[in-house]
Amino acid sequence: MRTLYLTFHVYLAFVTKSFQKRMQYRVANLAGLTTNFFFLLVHIFVYTAFYAARTGPLSLNLNEIITYFVLCQVFFMLMPFWGARSEVTSAIKDGSVALQLTKPVDFQAYWFSDECGRACYYLLMRGLPTFLISIIFFAVAIPTQPITVMAFAVSITLATFMSAAITITVFSFAFWTLDTTGFSGLSYSIITLFSGMLVPIALWPEWLAHIAAWLPFGGLIDIPFSIYLGKITGMDIWIAIGKQMIWVVFFLGLGRILLKRGFSRLVIQGG
């Protein structure tokens, strides 16, 4: 029990360190906040114009759409890829990541902790201000049921874990390819598309929404936000959360295998 506690303590330290590391970038964070609002505004303008000319009812009304995109910006930085890009992948590319093998920590757990620290930072420094300012300026729906709030909290945490696990998996390919920009760019596009970040899945044609339901990426955006908006209720909440859990485990496992292969490749070839 004690060793378990100590182990946890070590990784918690990584989370804190990752958080602190990001505190240095003052200008970048302000710029990021501004960017959030810019994209939020454009989305709202676009959807307001689209809704003005709509015919027939839709599964999301304009208020819900606005809330949806506010949430998108609040949790934007929790989505995959926004942190690991530079440091870890360049360490993989130049082979210096091999040094990690000499440390008595699990590399995936270390990386995962780092990603979680990043998520905490952005939630607090970017997400929270975005949310508070948005409440003032836009008609943001706030959930009233305690169960909704709780379920959302669990779901968005799982989304964060899934995002970290996906990031690790995708960037592990840096062990095999020299240049990951093309690959990661394409993965990013596909992931954001099927997460529902660009256009809510509720507005998609049925056939495509069907495909999305079978893919894991809805767990990043679509599931938590639908819970928030009260579109998923009752037993369905637990089914959705269960689905997220399964995908988190899946990506952690996949990432683990890739990293293991990657490291053994590195050791054999000497970088």
Partner 1 sequence: MHHLSLYLHFVKLRIRSQMAYRLSFVLDLFAQASISVIDFFMIALLFNRFKELAGWSLWEVGFLYGMIGICFAVAEMMGRGFDVFQRNVVRGEFDTMLVRPLGTFYQVFAHEFLLRRLGRIAQALAVLLIANSQLDISWSLGKVGFLLVSLVSGTCFFIGLFVIGATSCFWTVQSIEIINIFTNGGVFMGSYPFSIYRWWFRHFFTFIIPLACVNYFPSLFLLEKVASSGVPPLGVQLAPYAGFLFLGVTMLFWRWGVLRYQSTGH
Partner 2 sequence: MIEVNNLSKTFKVYHHRKGFFGSFMNLFSRKHRLVQAVDSVSFSVARGEIIGYLGPNGAGKSTTIKMLTGILVPTSGSVTVNGYIPHRQRKENAKRIGVVFGQRSHLWFDLPVQESFELLQRIYRIPEAQYRHNVEVFDALLGLGDFFRTPVRQLSLGQRMRADIAAALLHNPDVLFLDEPTIGLDVVAKARIREFIQQINAERQVTVVLTTHDLDDVEKLCKRVILIDNARLCFDGELAALRRLLSTERILSVDYAETYSDISIPNAQVIYQEESRVQYRFSPEAISTADLIGAILQRFKIVDISVQEPDIEELIKTVYEDNLTLAQKLAEADVIDLTNRKRIS
The DSSP output letter for 78 is G
Binding of partner 2 at residue 34 (CB under 8 A)? Answer: no
Structure tokens that stand for 81 in this block: 């890829």
Binding of partner 1 at residue 10 (CB under 8 A)? Answer: no
Contact by Cβ (8 Å): 184, 86: no
Find which of partner 1, partner 2, none residue 178 binds, CB within 5 to 8 Å per kind: partner 1
From 7, 20, 96, 264, residue interacting with partner 2 (rule: CB under 8 A) = 20
Q: What is the DSSP string of 59-123?
A: SS-HHHHHHHHHHHHHSGGGSTTTTTTTHHHHHHHTSGGGGGGGSSS-HHHHHHHHHHHHHHHHI
Write the interaction track for partner 2 spanning residues 96-135; mark x where CB under 8 A is met and - where it is not. -----------------------------x----------
Rounded-to-integer distance, Cα 219 and Cα 225, Å: 9
Least gap, CB of 140 to partner 2 (angstroms): 25
Rounded-to-integer distance, Cα 73 and Cα 78, Å: 10
Piece of 20-28, 55-63, 129-137, 190-198 that binds partner 2 (CB under 8 A): 20-28
Q: State the Rg of the chain over Cα.
A: 20
Contact by Cβ (8 Å): 228, 75: no
Closer residue to partner 1 in complex, CB, 181/233: 181
Rounded-to-integer distance, Cα 43 and Cα 49, Å: 10
Piece of 26-34, 70-78, 100-108, 253-261 that binds partner 2 (CB under 8 A): 26-34
Taking the alpha carbons at both ends of the chain, their separation in whole angstroms is 38
Closer residue to partner 1 in complex, CB, 43/256: 43
Binding residues vs partner 2 (CB under 8 A): 20, 23-24, 26, 29-30, 125
Binding residues vs partner 1 (CB under 8 A): 25, 27-28, 31-32, 34-35, 38-39, 41-42, 45-46, 48-55, 58, 177-179, 181-183, 185-186, 188-190, 193, 198-199, 203-205, 208
